[in-house]
Amino acid sequence: MQDHTPDTWPTPVGQRISIVGCSGSGKTHLARRLAARLGCPHIELDAIFHQPGWQPLPRAEFRARVEAALQAPRWVVEGAYSAVRPLTLSRADTVVWLDLPRPVVMRQVITRTLGRLLLRKTLWNGNRERLRNLLSLDPGRSIILWAWTRHAIYRERFAAEQRDPANAGIRFIRLESRAELDAWLDSLPR
């Protein structure tokens, strides 16, 4: 498995694509664009997991719903929940890893979170960002602190995933900037 650079990006892209990265790295943005470009379903794991009132879907039901969604022949799935990561990897032919620098991720997650909060944007299943979560010092409640504390952990997790011999049949594409992301998308056939 190699770490693809702009000169070695494989095209065309696969049929079952997993997009991973730290919160705020741009997974949703890329997944929407890629799914639209490829004409295939976009599976947003956050939308499955976060039920009304931010209640988590029970683990068994979450796994069952994700497994059902992954039965489609083509898809772009975004997110890397531990509870369903083995399911996603077992079906994926391509992993696109958004490995943006922490300052970029923090700028993006702060801007996104504040925008959602101020505009009262409705997210999955009627949920909205909460001011008390934004101000919380608990990374489990504050997406901003989650992104800060998990950035290095996710970087190691996805690097290990890429090195794992069990994933040898999966194409890994590591994008380290917004410019690389845009260039990679532009390199795909329309």
3-state SS class at 184 = helix
What string of DSSP letters covers 70-121? TTSSSEEEE---TTTHHHHHHH-SEEEEE---HHHHHHHHHHHHHHHHHHT-
- 23 or 137: which leads in pLDDT: 23
Alpha carbons 100 and 25: distance in angstroms, whole number: 6
How confident is the model over 53-99, as pLDDT tens digits? Answer: 889 999 999 999 999 999 999 999 999 999 999 999 999 999 999 99
Q: What is the pLDDT of residue 120?
A: 87
Give, in degrees to the nearest 5, the angle at Cα 173 between 169 and 175. Answer: 165
Q: What is the pLDDT of residue 131?
A: 82
- Confirm whether 52 is domain-assigned: yes
Tell me what the mean pLDDT of segment 123-145 comes to: 83
Read off the CATH number of the domain in which 53 is found: 3.40.50.300
How confident is the model over 154-178, as pLDDT tens digits? Answer: 999 999 999 999 999 999 999 999 9
How confident is the model over 16-60, as pLDDT tens digits? Answer: 999 999 999 999 999 999 999 989 999 999 999 999 988 999 999
> Per-residue pLDDT for 6 more than 70?
no
- Confirm whether 9 is domain-assigned: no
15-30 burial by CB neighbour count: b if 16+ within 10 A, else e? bbbbbbbbbbbbbbbb
How confident is the model over 91-133, as pLDDT tens digits? Answer: 999 999 999 999 999 999 999 989 988 888 888 888 888 887 7
- Confirm whether 5 is domain-assigned: no
> Per-residue pLDDT for 5 more than 50?
no
> By the 8 A CB rule, do 124 and 46 touch?
yes
**Whether the predicted model's global pTM rises above the 0.85 cut:** yes
| β-pairing verdict for 94-98 and 42-44 | unpaired
pLDDT confidence tier of residue 9, bands split at 50, 70 and 90: very low
- Confirm whether 155 is domain-assigned: yes
Q: Can you read off the two tokens belonging to residue 105?
A: 């991720």
- Confirm whether 6 is domain-assigned: no
Q: What is the pLDDT of residue 12?
A: 56
- Confirm whether 8 is domain-assigned: no
- Confirm whether 4 is domain-assigned: no
Provide the number of structural domains found in the chain.
1
Q: What is the CA radius of gyration of the chain?
A: 16
What angle do helix axes 102-119 and 143-163 make, rounded to 10 degrees? Answer: 140
> By the 8 A CB rule, do 89 and 162 touch?
no
- Confirm whether 56 is domain-assigned: yes
Tell me what the mean pLDDT of segment 136-140 comes to: 79
The size of the chain, in residues, is 190
Domain that holds residue 107: 16-187
